[in-house]
Structure 1
Amino acid sequence: MKVAIVHEWLVTRAGSEKVVEEILALYPEADLFTLICALPPGQDDMIRGRKVTTSFLQNLWGAHKRHRLFMPLMPLAVEQFDLSGYDLVISSSHAVAKGVITGPNQIHISYIHSPMRYAWDLQHTYLAESGLSRGFGSALARILLHYLRIWDIRTANGPERMVANSAYIARRIAKVYRREADVVFPPVDIAAMPFSAHRENFYLAASRMAPYKRMALIVSAFARMPDKKLVVIGDGPELPLVRRIATSNIEVLGYLDDAGLRDYMRRAKAFVFAAEEDFGIMPVEAQACGAPVIAFGRGGALETIVGPEGVRPTGLFFDCQSEEAIIAAVRRFDAEAARFAPENCRANAARFSREAFRAHFKAIVDEEIARAAGSLRKAA
């Protein structure tokens, strides 16, 4: 079969790009389509020697560095890809990729990282964080988001099959698109994570310093626990705020490369995570290194962490995003730390390996190919 793989944009190697990388490994002869391709040197291994087709957005000034500003043009851009020569189309979608146009004799399977967050339930959060809560700019943004939602619903009928990255996202797909989705967890490179059964006496928080990641909330909570040491890793717009509110028991390291981050995960007493994520790769990586996780009990964390009620618990949850809730959870963890064995954390993380992703995703694709072939035979 001739295979095309479609992804919104390739400007960094984050979680969704790692999914694309694994799909490319499954289908090494596939052609790659993306609206904008601007991967920096050192992160472009996945496209070397491969045919990559980009959209007209590739040549627009500023699109490489500020691609999100071109969101109003992205539905039009993704519809211009000519995929008529392909038998199988796989879209990796967190915005518009699922909207590619395919015909009745083509199979389209869409891996949904999330329905467009900023167009649906997180609209008001994104508008506030962008300074667009009121005024003319706010009105214009709301009109554009309204039309994006209409387009998003219309194109949800395109794929023959949808695959969600978690049960949490499958529920969002059912809510927004009124469609069922299979669940295939994103791949985590478990083999690359250094494991240690020995834990040192510090907590770790690591993430991009964006407001919804709630890193400042974690720092504020630990500022009220001077007897607890916290190490903070990450970069982003809230880093100056995090540095400003950190107290003497909190060490803010900023950006570290993968090796440096994993070394701290290998040694930390526990990993603290306060965001509501669709899946959340970092808590899985921390567990792979042997670190239990103290997490906000919403979103993908409920699927990747075994709570205290489990037979082999790998962490515990707090039920609201507040300093008090984090403080109570940390105190509880201290009292029950012996229950969270590093070996159990590693074993739980193995469920999310790259090999597991490839096996589960390929099984779904093969099943859909067989179903389509059966339909053609009946029609004949």
Structure 2
Amino acid sequence: MANVTLAPTPANDIRRFGRVALVHDWLAAYAGSEKVVEQILQLFPHADLYSVVDFFPEAQRDVLGGKRAHTSFIQHLPRARKSFRHYLPLMPLAIEQFDLSGYDLVISSNHAVAKGVLTGPHQVHVSYVHSPIRYAWDLQHQYLAEAGMQRGMKSWIVRLLLHYMRIWDHRTAHGVDAFVANSAFVGRRIRKAYGSDATVVYPPVDVERFELSTEREDFYLIASRMVPYKRIPLLVEAFAAMPSRRLVVIGDGTDFARAKACATPNVTLLGYQPDAALVDYMQRARAFVFAAEEDFGISVVEAQACGTPVIALGRGGVREIVVESQDPERATGLFFGEQTVASIVDAVERFEQSPPFRADVCRRNALRFTKERFKREFLGVVERAVEASRVPADPAPEIRRWRSA
């Protein structure tokens, strides 16, 4: 891989890979999966971009190289800009309408339907999977409970739709030549959902924008969207049970009111904060607290890039980021086992009694997840998939089966 050019010119890119299409589920905000798209477009600057809808903020479109996506019919349906997710049952049909037959290499960035594009035997399809559709697979029951749809006719209609979504999602996995998972945790999901192995390439994190800080103040920090699976109200309840421990919460969302109702005087809810303020709090916090079962956990990497240790739920992709160890040369935080107040309180008390975590060790651990590392490893997967497609298949097994029949 020493000869890999991380930002090939369009001419070199076309010569190596031919025509390239990049397919993303939907473009509506600049979040974790869109940062992956940004880096892939830097690797393949001549790629054509496809998405079910494209309502990406115009002020941030430069991260897409100024590109606008080819979109589906859902782009033009009523109230699509604000409620396009309500058209999820139509998205398998929509993604299949993209005619990609003229491309040599198809890359999909998938957490819903993008990998379902139709490709032929002459094409190479590499799919970077942020997660198989969570609400259709292992997290179906959790999502139904959070939406209050555990019983009744509406619940059964949704369950039926998710059943057919699983059938479609599994079938379309056969059109992928190489799966890439954003964590080993997601790799195991891919194995269970699609029966396929995946190469792990951790997502890119802009660790360079976070400076190492060794100065700590006496507060714990949460920075997250306030949606149910992030469990922010639970963390607030836990710190309400520890009145001597100060907690600062940054973020907004549907669970903000619930979190505020649980808050006690030692808990400060700041709501949305600009990026500079977020970085400042991360650099000063005693520890970063994280209670979600995430596919990866970019904010956990960002906190460690500031030299801040992490107290996290010991499930999901975060176990591949935080290092729990007795060795001070390796330790970057510790885990709690359950999403309960008692488990979180116990973890904070263990953290208080632990030897100080070294900021330089936390920073060094975060540097495993740079943008340059992502580009190098992802390009390697693509190159191997393209090379494998050029090797003629061995006809001997087919001949033997034909003769034995």
| Match in the other structure for 2:202 | 185
| Match in the other structure for 1:55 | 72
C-alpha contact (below 8 Å) 1:194/1:263 kept by paired residues: no
SS at match of 2:82: coil
Cα RMSD (Å) of the superposition?
Answer: 1.5
Residue pairs, 1:204-223, within 5 angstroms: 204-223=221-240
Q: Match of 1:296, as an amino acid?
A: L
SS at match of 2:60: coil
| Match in the other structure for 1:334 | 352
Q: Match of 1:42, as an amino acid?
A: A
| Match in the other structure for 1:68 | 85
SS at match of 2:265: coil
TM-score, scaled to structure 1: 0.97
How far apart are residue 42 of structure 1 and its match?
Answer: 2.5
Task: State which of 310, 335, 354 in structure 2 corresponds to 1:293.
Answer: 310
| Match in the other structure for 1:175 | 192
Task: State which of 323, 329, 338 in structure 2 corresponds to 1:320.
Answer: 338
Task: State which of 253, 268, 271 in structure 1 corresponds to 2:288.
Answer: 271
| Match in the other structure for 1:225 | 242
Task: State which of 44, 58, 80 in structure 2 corresponds to 1:27.
Answer: 44
SS at match of 1:37: coil
| Aligned equivalents of 2:395, 2:38: Cα separation in 1 | 36
C-alpha contact (below 8 Å) 2:213/2:307 kept by paired residues: yes
How far apart are residue 243 of structure 1 and its match?
Answer: 1.2
Q: 1:83-113: CA deviations, max 9, x gaps? A: 0111000000001101100010000000011
Larger Rg computed on CA atoms: 2
The 4+ residue runs of structure 1 with deviation greater than 3 A are: 376-379
Q: 1:133-173: CA deviations, max 9, x gaps? A: 21111111111111001101100111100000000000111
SS at match of 2:56: coil
Q: Match of 2:290, as an amino acid?
A: F
| Match in the other structure for 2:100 | 83
| Aligned equivalents of 1:82, 1:302: Cα separation in 2 | 40
| Aligned equivalents of 1:97, 1:350: Cα separation in 2 | 30
Identity of aligned residues (%): 56
| Aligned equivalents of 1:195, 1:41: Cα separation in 2 | 32
Q: Match of 2:323, as an amino acid?
A: V
| Aligned equivalents of 1:192, 1:45: Cα separation in 2 | 18
C-alpha contact (below 8 Å) 2:45/2:65 kept by paired residues: no
Task: State which of 160, 166, 188 in structure 1 corresponds to 2:177.
Answer: 160
Q: Match of 1:172, as an amino acid?
A: R
Q: Match of 2:228, as an amino acid?
A: P
| Match in the other structure for 2:19 | 2
Whether 2:216 is the aligned partner of 1:199: answer yes
How far apart are residue 51 of structure 1 and its match?
Answer: 4.9
Whether 2:273 is the aligned partner of 1:256: answer yes
TM-score, scaled to structure 2: 0.91
